[in-house]
């Protein structure tokens, strides 16, 4: 592994070493993640409502299905750009120790979304079953998003409490 990506080469405060923090703050992928995450959350909220409406009334399958596809495209996009971000910051495409559990749950989220897409594309599942699977995918996504938010809030708290001037360490 490249020595500049070795977390042992600089002191750690919370989630990031000083060098990882510098890379995180310098890469455009941090901004990309910061834009895509709330966009995906809004898409999920809208789609969640449309899926529930379909399940309650039997109407609006097309709108619920299209919204699910849009949400899933955003999920794939944030996963690809997130892996690039993780490679830049931690030197690994996925499963960097700092985000291992979040990445692991992300795999379940991807699997559920993908299974639902396959069900929609092939007719393998009835429309009602597709929408129930979409709800399961959304619940897993909400759990995963909560993991990331809690992790990033903890990292900010740790950085704020750091007694050392981290800029001086870089």
pTM of the model: 0.83
Per-residue pLDDT, 127:
97
pLDDT digits (tens, 9 = 90+) for 78-127: 999 999 999 999 999 999 999 999 999 999 999 999 999 999 999 999 99
The Cα-based distances of 42 to 18, 38, 67, 133 in angstroms read 33, 6, 11, 19
- Residue 91 CA to residue 89 CA, distance in Å, equals 6
pLDDT digits (tens, 9 = 90+) for 25-64: 999 999 999 999 999 999 999 999 999 999 999 999 999 9
The 3-class SS string of 61-93 reads HHHHHHHHHHHHHHHHHHHHHHHHHHHHHHCCC
Q: Identify the CA nearest to 113 among candidates 49, 63, 40.
A: 40
Instruction: For residue 90, report the phi and psi dihedrals to the nearest 5 degrees.
Output: -110, -10
Q: How confident is the model at residue 168 (pLDDT cuts 50, 70, 90)?
A: very low
């Amino acid at each position: 592994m490249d020595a500049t990506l070795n977390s042992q080469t600089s002191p750690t405060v919370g989630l990031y070493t000083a060098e990882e923090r510098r890379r995180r703050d310098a890469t455009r992928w941090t901004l990309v993640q910061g834009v895509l995450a709330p966009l995906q959350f809004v898409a999920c909220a809208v789609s969640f409502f449309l899926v529930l409406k379909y399940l309650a009334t039997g109407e609006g399958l097309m709108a619920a299905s299209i919204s699910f596809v849009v949400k899933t495209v955003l999920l794939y996009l944030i996963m690809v750009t997130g892996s690039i971000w993780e490679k830049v910051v931690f030197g690994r495409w996925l499963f960097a120790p700092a985000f291992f559990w979040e990445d692991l749950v992300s795999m379940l989220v991807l699997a559920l979304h993908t299974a639902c897409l396959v069900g929609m594309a092939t007719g393998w599942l009835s429309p009602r079953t597709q929408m129930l699977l979409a709800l399961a995918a959304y619940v897993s996504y909400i759990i995963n998003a909560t993991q990331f938010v809690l992790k990033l809030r903890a990292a900010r708290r740790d950085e704020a409490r750091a007694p050392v001037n981290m800029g001086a360490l870089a």
